Amino acid sequence: MDSGPLTLTTAVTRLRQGTLTSRTLTEDLLREAERHAGLGAFITLDHERALSAARAADRTPGTGLLHGVPIVVKDNIHVAGLPNTAGTPALAGFVPDADAPVVGRLRSAGAFVIGKTGMHELSFGATSAGSASGPVRNAHEPGCFAGGSSGGTAVAVAYGALAGLGTDTGGSVRIPAALNGVCGLRPTPGRYPAGAVTPLSSTRDVVGPIARTVADIGLLDAVLAGTDTGLAVMVPHRLRLGVPGGYFTRWLGAETAEAFQGALDRLRAHGVTLVDVQLPDFEAVEREIGFPITLYEARRELTAYLARYVPSTSLADLADRIIDPAVRRAFIDMVVQGAPRAIAEEHYQAALTNGRAWLRASYHDAFHTHGIDALVFPTTPRCAAALGDAAGLVDVGGEPLPAFEAFIRNTGPGSLAGLPGLTVPIPRASGGLPVGLALDGWVLTDRSLLAVGAQVQKLLAS
C-alpha cells in the first residue's frame, strides 16, 4: 500500500466508482501486514479467506455501505472460523463458529475480516506489551509500546488498514489510537449490539471503531449502531468546548503539554469558544469505583463466558496460564474464586450505584451548566513510553507513575460515567511521537460528538 493517506471514506468511494478493486486493496494490505510483522499488530492473518472475499466483492454489485472493504478485528471479538485467543494461552485453541453481532453488522454492510489483531492479555492492561503473542510495538517508534489494550488494531490502522474494531473498558480504544496518531471512539454503552466478546466488565465494556479520520469513524458508527450516515456540519464560532483543569492536566509530559496548548490556541484562533470547566478531583475514581466494578464483574463475566464457549477451561485454569505477570497477579489475588483480595459484594454495589451516580452527576453539571458541546483534554498524559517501562514507572511531567495508572488516567472517568469518548490526533512536532486530543460528549450524543470531532480534526489540520 502506498504511503498516501487512503481513508475508509475515500476507499469506499473509489470502490463504488470502479477505480479501485477490493482485491488490490486487500493484497496491498496483506503485503503491508507482512512487511510490518515485527510490530506485532496481528495475531492471525486470514490470507485465503480475505482474498476470496475480495474477489467475490469485485464480481458482485455493491449494495452495502462497506462493500468490498477489508476490516481488522481485535482478538477478543469473535470471528467465525478464526482463533479468538484474547492474547492468553488458555484460549489459544478456541475457534468460534459464529461472528459477534458487531462483526455481523460489518459483514451485512459488505465488509470482510482480514485478520485478528494483537492486544494486552485479556484486555487487562494499557500498553499491549503483555500478551501470549508478544508485545505490540508503536507504529511510529518500535522501541515504544502501542498502548492498549486494543494496540494491534490501532497499529494496523496507523500503517495501512482502513479501519478496525477494538474494545474499550477504561480507555482501551482511545489510548492506543492516540499513541499511534489515529482516531478512536468509545460509544455510549448499548448503542452497538453486544455479545460474543471475551469480557471484563459488563458495566464498562464496549466495542469501539478505530480509523484514520473522524469521518471514517462516523461511517463505521452508522453501520454498527444502525443509524443514518450523515454528520452535522459544525460551525467553528458556534462550538463550545469545556477545558477541565486539575486532574486532567495536573501531570503532563512536555510534548503532550505543548501539543495540547497548541491545539487549544489553534481552535481558539478559528473562533471556537473554550470554557474553563471545574470538575471534582477524580484522583480516587478508578481505585474506589472503577477497579471494584471491573474486578468483581471480571470473575462473574469470565466464568460465564468460559462455561458457554470453552467449558473445558475454568477461571482458575485460565488464571494459572496467564503470561503477563501483572495480569496474573491481579487475577490470582483479586479475581478467581476465593481470591484473598476479592472485591466484596457491598463494595461492588456501592461503586456500581452510589459511585457511578456521583460521577455521572458531576459530568451532567459540567455539560449543562456551561452549555458545552464536549469536554476537551489530552487523551493520555504523555506520549508512548519505551517497551521496557511498560511494567514499571513512567515519567509524567516529572512525576513517576505506574504505566497502567498513567495511561488510563484521563480516559477512565468518562468511561465509568458511560459517556461517549473520541480521540483525534494533534498535529505532531517534527520527530515527535503522536499526541491525542480527547473529546467526551454527554450520554447518547455520539453522532453530535462525531460531528464536533470532525470539525475539530479539520481545524487542527488547517
d(CA 150, CA 157): 11
Among residues 74, 123, 133, 150, which one is catalytic? 74
Please tell me the CATH code under which domain 8-225 is placed: 3.90.1300.10
pLDDT value of position 430: 64
Average pLDDT along the chain: 96
d(CA 327, CA 124): 6
Residues 65-119 have pLDDT tens digits of: 999 999 999 999 999 999 999 999 999 999 999 999 999 999 999 999 999 999 9
DSSP H or E segment with residue 211: strand 206-211
Tell me: pLDDT of 393 over 60. Answer: yes
The sign of the torsion formed by the CA atoms of 404, 250, 444, 462 equals: negative
d(CA 231, CA 229): 7
389 SS3 class: helix
Chain-centroid distance, C-alpha 435: 15
Q: Do 73 and 116 contact (CB within 8 A), yes or no?
A: yes
DSSP state of 122: G
pLDDT value of position 4: 58
Among residues 149, 150, 201, 415, which one is catalytic? 149
Domain residue extents for the chain: 8-225, 240-281+359-461, 285-346
Of 455, 429, 418, 453, the residue nearest 439 (C-alpha): 453
d(CA 166, CA 174): 9
Of 87, 146, 81, the residue nearest 112 (C-alpha): 81
pLDDT value of position 429: 64
Grid coordinates given for 407: 495511561
106 SS3 class: helix
pLDDT value of position 62: 85
First to last CA, the chain: 26
Grid coordinates given for 234: 459544525
Residues 352-390 have pLDDT tens digits of: 999 999 999 999 999 999 999 999 999 999 999 999 999
Tell me: pLDDT of 184 over 80. Answer: yes
pLDDT value of position 262: 96
Residues 26-59 have pLDDT tens digits of: 999 999 999 999 999 999 999 999 999 999 999 9
Sequence-separated (6 or more) residues with CB below 8 Å from residue 440? 363, 374, 375, 377, 414, 419, 420, 421, 422, 449
Inter-CA distances, 246 with 12, 85, 99, 243, 283, Å: 42, 39, 43, 10, 10
d(CA 69, CA 23): 10
Of 151, 130, 186, 7, the residue nearest 74 (C-alpha): 151
Pairing type for strands 183-186 and 112-117 reads unpaired
Among residues 22, 133, 150, 172, which one is catalytic? 172
CA Rg, the chain, in Å?
A: 21
Residues 169-182 have pLDDT tens digits of: 999 999 999 999 99
pLDDT value of position 2: 41
Sequence-separated (6 or more) residues with CB below 8 Å from residue 51? 23, 26, 27, 30
Region 6-11: mean pLDDT is: 97
Grid coordinates given for 212: 484514520
Residues 133-149 have pLDDT tens digits of: 999 999 999 999 999 99
pLDDT value of position 3: 45
d(CA 176, CA 182): 8
Tell me: pLDDT of 5 over 80. Answer: no
Residues 219-246 have pLDDT tens digits of: 999 999 999 999 999 999 999 999 999 9
Across 126-158, b (16+ Cβ under 10 Å) vs e yields bbbbbbbbebbbbbbbbebbbbbbbbbbbbbbb
458 is catalytic: no
Residues 249-293 have pLDDT tens digits of: 999 999 999 999 999 999 999 999 999 999 999 999 999 999 999
d(CA 37, CA 30): 10
CATH architecture of 240-281+359-461: Alpha-Beta Complex (3.90)
Region 301-317: mean pLDDT is: 98
112 SS3 class: strand
d(CA 49, CA 53): 6
DSSP state of 386: B
Q: Do 255 and 435 contact (CB within 8 A), yes or no?
A: yes
391, HSE (Cβ side, Cα atoms, 13 Å) = 12
Inter-CA distances, 219 with 12, 50, 79, 421, 447, Å: 10, 21, 21, 16, 10
DSSP state of 85: -
- For the sheet with 70-74, list strands across it: 42-45, 112-117, 70-74, 163-168, 206-211, 183-186, 421-426, 435-440, 374-378, 240-244, 273-277
Please tell me whether the overall predicted TM-score, pTM, comes out greater than 0.95 for this model. yes
pLDDT value of position 1: 39
DSSP state of 385: P
202 is catalytic: no
- Residue reference for cell 481558539: 268
Tell me: pLDDT of 319 over 90. Answer: yes
